[in-house]
Amino acid sequence: MTRVNKVISTDFLNGKTVLVTGGTGTFGRAFVARLLAVPGVAKVIIFSRDELKQSEMQAQYKDEPRLRFFIGDIRNTERLKRAFDGVDIVVHAAAMKRVESIEYNPTEAIETNIIGSRNVIDAALDRNVGKVLFVSSDKAVEPINLYGATKLAAEKLFVAANAYVGQGVGRFSVVRYGNVIGSRGSFVEMISRQRESGTITVTNKEMTRFWIRIESVMDIVLECLLLMQGGEIFVPKMKNMAITDMVKLLAPECTMRVIGTRPGEKLHEILITRYEAVQARELPHMYAIAPMGGAEWLARYRCVPKGFLYTSNNKKFLLKKKEAAQLFG
């Protein structure tokens, strides 16, 4: 059964039609489940190009009358416009995400992650969609690989889109977070897969990462949709942990083998740059980076401290052993 966060009001979803691009991915599946757990949601539309995964979801939700499926590619603006007709909220999660694959297929990544995101914006503006939230990544912050660069470009497009709304009702914002525990291709999944061999491969023993559970991501996304006024970049409060400590926690009986840092891989991740920190405010569950020119509704929240560093090697955000056991348990 899907857990619904009782702290976050979902009244704003009453009678609303919500479309999720990339709705058959890890994020999309979890978010669709959360939306369907809200009785007031009128309709949920899954937009993706994977017909097999859509058929699997149709079988899973065969008795759910509020669910609709739309085969399409975010590279196709006309298809997006058709899908966005009558939609109130769009959560844009469709993307190419495999760092290594993107390095070898750069033009494909640009077409999907950048041009595709622009197409989502254009279709939303044309169809007067009320709220559009872009799902970004910590890789977008000071990127060193093409995946991060495409996410950064898409973030910039979404923030800038608010200048094109004119007399419309559209608002465009971003949510940016770190590694999701249990997502496809994650380090946690790799540990589970390699555990039987008795050896876990790590690229660098000094590497650190931010971690968050998929359930917490759903909470944050709903809260972003509730609060967003346009132009904000929301970053959930997350804790960090060294990957070697993760191996010791999840597979204590295994040995570790260092295989070397992969191309485009950072030693430590950053979630808010020192330049963005000047515009950042601290909310109860997240930080919000205000757009240039500010955001009036954020004025009631305190600024982050001077010299704020939201990096995965900052011991201020280090997971304690008990917290880690609960997070990864």
DSSP-derived 3-state class of residue 6: coil
- Taking CA atoms, 69 is separated from 62, 63, 158, in Å, by 12, 14, 25
At 242, the amino acid letter reads A
Q: How far apart are CA 254 and CA 199, in angstroms?
A: 5
Q: CB under 8 Å to 169, separation ≥6 — which residues?
A: 128, 130
139 catalytic? Reply is yes
Collect contacts of 295-298 with beta carbons under 8 A, ≥24 apart.
295/229, 295/231, 295/232, 297/227, 297/229, 298/232
Place of tokens 């359930």: 215
Catalytic residue among 97, 139, 151, 266: 139
Q: How far apart are CA 95 and CA 135, in angstroms?
A: 9
**What residues are labeled active site?**
139
